[in-house]
């Protein structure tokens, strides 16, 4: 959802989850992410360009930026799991 929606939607997802989830409950985000320490695959760059061509508010998000927003909303205990096709699952837990 984070990459095929405006940035404000991702913030809304995190904010709403922070209000609705019980302490310890997970918020799991899956998809392509940009990560500073991992080189971006050319297929991911092409996908990001395609998303932005369809809607300039869409695009692959920087994982650290999303994690910063999640922390500001009381999430922690991040677990990042590498998935097939250069994707990641990001598991956050409500504090």
* Residue range 8-58, pLDDT digits in tens: 999 999 999 999 999 999 999 999 998 876 667 888 889 999 999 999 999
Structure tokens at 69: 């927003």
Cβ-contact 32, 52 below 8 angstroms: no
What per-residue confidence (pLDDT) applies to 85? 85
pTM exceeding the 0.85 threshold for the entire prediction:
yes
Topology, domain 7-94: Rossmann fold (3.40.50)
Residue corresponding to tokens 């994690």 = 67
Spans of all domains in the chain: 7-94
């Amino acid at each position: 959802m984070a990459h095929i929606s405006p940035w404000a939607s991702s913030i809304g997802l995190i904010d709403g989850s922070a209000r609705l989830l019980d302490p310890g409950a997970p918020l799991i985000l899956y998809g392509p992410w940009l990560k500073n320490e991992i080189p971006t695959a050319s297929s991911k760059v092409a996908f990001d360009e395609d998303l932005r061509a369809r809607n300039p508010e869409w695009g692959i998000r920087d994982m650290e930026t999303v994690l910063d927003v999640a922390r500001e909303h009381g999430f922690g205990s991040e677990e990042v799991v590498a998935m097939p096709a250069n994707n990641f699952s990001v598991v956050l837990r409500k504090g």
